Amino acid sequence: MALVDVDAGVRLYAQDLGDGPPIVLVAGFGLDHRVWDRQVRVLAAHHRVVCVDQRGHGLSDKPWGGYDFDRMARDLLAVADKLELNSATLVGWSLGGQTAFKATALDDQHRFAQLVLVGSNGVRASRSDRFPFGAPPEALEESLLREEFSDRLKARRSSIATGFAAHAPDALVDWLVSLSMQMPSWAAAALYHAMLNTDLIDDIDAIDIPVLQIIGEQDPVHSARGAHWLCGRLAESTLVELPGCGHFPMFEAPDEFDCALNNFIDAAGRT
């Protein structure tokens, strides 16, 4: 376990377990390394598995600023440098997928050899002229901020519960909400803005490593249609669409999720 200095006065928490080819896991909005428990248990038997809490999340520092994707991507690259990670498989879920996408585009030292996007369209989380998927950002951001500032607990619970394709167990939702509540409102507000208004489409051509996209067929946050759109524009991408699954594939379809992830990692290890 380590706290890694990534910026002036900012440290990120990195859970670092196992030995072997490195895998880096980055969770989604408000969540942290604990959501990857099942994957770490399986993967760490033969890999070095590093779970990074992004700034504002989990056990990492929660500064006032620095929540744009360029800064958070550089945070991730700094962790890779400090932990001496090379040719790693980078796995980003939802918000973490956007961070991972930008980090891969900026990576000029081969820290990452494969990219996995989980429940993420990578380039955007809202509709634009160039990306015709999701909701328009202005009204959605206004609604999310209003709910966050009026009743943070209710807003976080609603956001998590509605991400599942079917009713999720109350205990699971309660646990995810407890993790989410560790993210302060100022970080949430800045991240909502970054998620909904950042366009990484111009970074597509910089992604020249193999990419695996795992998306729920009924994902209400990052649509499967957006994932197909991105797959057709990446140099080398494989898309796995999970039927009947929403935004939480590691909980909604854990066997199928682990199979897709492990097959991709194993194939990369054989090349």
Q: What is the pLDDT of residues 148-159, one digit of tens each?
A: 999 999 999 999
Amino acid at 74: R
Q: Are strands 88-93 and 48-52 parallel, antiparallel or unpaired?
A: unpaired
Provide the β-strand partners of residue 48: 22
**Domains of the chain and CATH, by start:** 2-270 (3.40.50.1820)
The H or E element spanning position 69 is helix 69-82
Residue 174 has pLDDT above 70, yes or no: yes
Residue 120 has pLDDT above 70, yes or no: yes
Amino acid at 142: E
| pLDDT value of residue 268 | 77
Of the chain, the end-to-end C-alpha distance in Å amounts to 30
The Cα 180–Cα 171 span in angstroms is 14
88-93 sheet: strands from edge to edge: 2-7, 10-17, 48-52, 22-26, 88-93, 112-118, 211-216, 237-242
Percent of the chain, pLDDT > 90? 97
Token pair 């598995």 in the structure block, residue: 49
